[in-house]
Structure 1
């Protein structure tokens, strides 16, 4: 009896299980654990993909947030537009209207000539109770008042420049706030010459027949008057009568 020592015996105690012989062309038997191993591998691959996706999303979020903060840091607040110009405040200086020295003092600007200039002004014998007021800033230039009628005549109005009144003798008076002087015959009445004569004064009180001639109130001379509002007038004396007193003048606006 021969003993098999090749290890292919059937049921040798302690040996590995016998492998059944295979025949060429016969498929290998199926692995009973292959499905479990495939499932485990799929689970691992899915977990890896999920982890990578999470890392990718987190990285994008960090990058976006960083760019946003950078943009916020780069943004500068709008610069306020300021003006370096200092507001100009008008300088108002007090001025007195009581004694005008130049037509430029008129608040209404240069005076315009009245229609019909040169105008004829006749100052006739007024009578002792009649006062004629002359206002070079109004037309008509003259107004007559009865000094006996207190209700009608409260006294010379404000703005009156000269007064013609008679109570033997007749007087031509220059009111406070106005100026009047005489320009000699032959001297052209211009702004400069007439203004100089008016500012020189002298006709604060001219009494006709009693010193008026000595003051220059004679035919041919020109009385220059500067109103309280700055209107400069030239009044050429074309006729004057001492008794009964009357005076006729051609009046025109210089400026």
Structure 2
């Protein structure tokens, strides 16, 4: 199976390429802009994974109106070429920000969760998803993955990604800001587990279309996470009564397990230890 990856943001794409091995092709902006090279590459591919949760220009804020245009323009190139190459499985990887936060702790993110994009970038993500689904069929299946907060280290920058890394980075100054009151619950997933889950979906495409929310399927209360970071660093947590723009809530582990063979292996403690060692 040969897989192309578009929307490379220097983080998830690296780990996905590591997971897939030599049968993987990164579609750079130059390749996407080349009307001859792109179709030639896709002619030998069975699938495209498009990282759809961020702007092609990562210097822009998520709320910048320009993001919507850039996401649409990039996606149009991908969608047009997918439709012209029979047998390509399109996998769109975005965030849970297309959903509102659950109202209760026993309400989980799933394929049935309501759609209400939280910002311009989430609007762009949803536009791409809906545009792809319009053309989904047995010869062109579409999988949509919406992921919880992704944790890990970007090899290029040696920089930690995700809320746990952010808290540990701030703790080096003797205190750290915790969004919310501490009672909120958050689901997180390590980037290596996410890469393995994407590989599982590539190995088992849906008949025509499918959507799944991914995470660890287990939440951690922010006060508990803050206490672990505090004990490890000696820093004091400072709680902000405003929840900010964080994604709260837990992914439906049962639905995730029905769709994806890979089970998350990196624990929250492993994620915290990695974040602390990276400071």
TM-score bracket for this pair, using the shorter chain length: under 0.3
**Whose Rg is larger?**
1
Quick check: which one's helix share is greater?
A: 2
Per the normalisation by structure 2, the TM-score is 0.20
Per the normalisation by structure 1, the TM-score is 0.22
